[in-house]
Chains A and B, each alone.
Chain A
C-alpha cells in the first residue's frame, strides 16, 4: 500500500521553450493559442525529410557568459537559463539556506546531442586532432545538473534521471523523494533537451515518429487530432524550486506537487502497451499517494505527443483510471502548441499546469479538432475552458511517458487561495 506523500510546495519556476523565453511569456502565448512550431530555413535542413521544429526565441540565452556557452552543450545552457529564472523567483526563500541542503535534479532524454554530432563530424573531416577536449564533459547527460550546481553553488547533490520523454517529470518525482527523505531542504528540479539538429531530426524521422507537415508548421503537432502523423521535435527546459510543506513560508507557494506515481510498461522499447494498462497504474499510483479520487480533479494535462499509437494508449489509460469522470474532465495536450520537448517536456508542461491552476483556466488543445473518435475524452479542442473549483482547492492530473516504457503521473494542486500571477 503506497504511503500518502507529503505535499511539495513549488516556490519558483523558470521555463524556456518555443513559446517563450520565460515562464510568464510562455503562459501568455499558450493562452493566446499560439503555435511555437516553425519550418526551419537553415541550409542544413535542405536534404531532410522533416524540416519542422520548435526553437526557443532568438537571444534567450544571451544572458549566459560566452565562456559558459563555449564549454557546455545547448542542453545544459537551456537548463542553466531556466534554473537561474527559478532561483531568482525563489530568492526571498533561498536567502540564508545552507547550500549543502539544496539539491539539483535535471533530467534529460539524450543530453549533448549537438556536441556528439558536431564532434563526430570533426573527427570524420579533420581527424582525431580536431576533436574538442570538452567533447565528453559537454555531451554527458548529467552535464546540465552539474552545470546548474556549479553556477548556483549548490552542494546538496546533483542528479540526472534519464527516462526519455518522462525525464522532466521523473525529476520532479525524485525531487519530492529527496525532500521527503530529508536529503535536502530545497530542490531545483526539472528537465532540458536540445535535439533540434541534423542528427536529432534524422534519428526521429528515421523511425517515422515525426510529423512531416513541412508546409503547415502550425498545424503539424496534432495530439488527439484525427489525421495526426507524429510529433514535432522541440527544444527547451523547465526548472521548478521545490520545498517541503512544513518548511514553506505562508503565502510563498505558487502551487503544489501533491504526489508522483510511476510504473513501467515492460512491453517494447518504443511502442506503448496499447491498452495503457501500466500507464493507468501510474495514474492510480499518483491518485492514491495524493489520497484523492478522479472526482476530486478539475482537469487533466495529457502527455499526448501526436503519434497514432501513443495517444490512443494514453486515452485508454485515462479512461480506465478516471472512469466516468473522464466524460467531463477537460483534457489539454500542450504539445499541440509546444511540440515535444522530450526530456524537457514534463517540467515545462508542469509549470503550465500550475499556471492554469492559478488562473483557473485550462488552455485549449491546439489542432485536436476534429478529434479522433477513438479518443473518448473531453479534450478542450474549442479553446480555453474554465477550471471548476467546486471541490475547493483545484487539482489536476499530469502525465509523462517515455521510450523505454517509463510512465510518470503527477497530481498537482493550485495555491490556496488562487491568485493570478
Chain B
C-alpha cells in the first residue's frame, strides 16, 4: 500500500498523474472541471482502474457505487480527500 497522506495539492498532482496513465490524455487537459469520459477519455475499464490506483497509491478503497457517480476530475479529488486515511482513520482496511 502506498498509503501516505498527501496534502490537497499533492493529491491533485498524483491524481492527474494517475488519470494520465490510465487514459493517455495530456496532463494539461486533466483539470478539475474536466469530464472524465468526454474530456479525459476514461472508458468503462478505466473507471475500474481508478479503484485499484486509489487503493495502491493512497490506501483508499472507493466503493463501486461511489465510483459510478464520478463525472469530473474534481469529483474524484473531493471523494479522495473525504476518505483520506488521516480523516477517516479506522475506516480503511
Which A residues are within 8 Å of any B CB, using their own CB? 65-68, 70, 126, 129-134, 137
Dominant SS among interface residues on chain A: helix
**B55 interface hit (Cβ, 8 Å):** yes
If A66-B21, A67-B24, A70-B21 touch, whether A129 touches B55 (CB-CB below 8 Å) is yes
B45 A133 Cβ-Cβ under 8 A: yes
If A134-B49, A137-B45 touch, whether A129 touches B61 (CB-CB below 8 Å) is yes
B55 A65 Cβ-Cβ under 8 A: no
B24 A66 Cβ-Cβ under 8 A: yes
B55 cross-chain contacts in A, Cβ below 8 A = 126, 129-130
| Contact residues, B2-26 vs A (CB, 8 A) | 21-24
A130 B52 Cβ-Cβ under 8 A: yes
A65 cross-chain contacts in B, Cβ below 8 A = 24
Which B residues are within 8 Å of any A CB, using their own CB? 21-24, 45, 48-49, 51-52, 55-56, 61
A133 B48 Cβ-Cβ under 8 A: yes
A132 B23 Cβ-Cβ under 8 A: no
> Complex formed: what's the CA distance from A70 to B55 in Å?
18
A131: nearest chain-B partner, CB-CB = B52
B51 A129 Cβ-Cβ under 8 A: yes
B45 to A: closest C-beta gap in Å:
5
A133 to B: closest C-beta gap in Å:
4
A67 B23 Cβ-Cβ under 8 A: yes
A246 to B: closest C-beta gap in Å:
42
B22 cross-chain contacts in A, Cβ below 8 A = 70
B52 A132 Cβ-Cβ under 8 A: yes
> Complex formed: what's the CA distance from A253 to B87 in Å?
68
A126 cross-chain contacts in B, Cβ below 8 A = 55
A72 to B: closest C-beta gap in Å:
12
A70 cross-chain contacts in B, Cβ below 8 A = 21-22, 24
B92 to A: closest C-beta gap in Å:
12
B52 cross-chain contacts in A, Cβ below 8 A = 129-133
Give 3 nearest A-B pairs by CB, closest first. Answer: A67-B24, A133-B48, A133-B45
A107 to B: closest C-beta gap in Å:
26
B40 to A: closest C-beta gap in Å:
12
A131 cross-chain contacts in B, Cβ below 8 A = 52
> Complex formed: what's the CA distance from A134 to B53 in Å?
13
20 interchain pairs (CB within 8 A)?
A65-B24, A66-B21, A66-B24, A67-B23, A67-B24, A68-B24, A70-B21, A70-B22, A70-B24, A126-B55, A129-B51, A129-B52, A129-B55, A129-B61, A130-B55, A130-B56, A132-B52, A133-B48, A133-B52, A137-B45
A134 B45 Cβ-Cβ under 8 A: yes
B21: nearest chain-A partner, CB-CB = A70
> Complex formed: what's the CA distance from A66 to B21 in Å?
8
B46 to A: closest C-beta gap in Å:
8
> Complex formed: what's the CA distance from A283 to B48 in Å?
50
11 extra interchain contacts, Cβ-Cβ under 8 A, other than A68-B24, A130-B52? Answer: A66-B21, A67-B23, A67-B24, A70-B21, A70-B22, A70-B24, A126-B55, A130-B56, A131-B52, A133-B52, A134-B45
A133 B49 Cβ-Cβ under 8 A: yes
Counting chain A CB atoms within 10 Å of each CB, which of B21, B22, B23, B45 scores highest?
Answer: B45
> Complex formed: what's the CA distance from A67 to B26 in Å?
11
A13 to B: closest C-beta gap in Å:
29
A297 to B: closest C-beta gap in Å:
49
B56 cross-chain contacts in A, Cβ below 8 A = 130
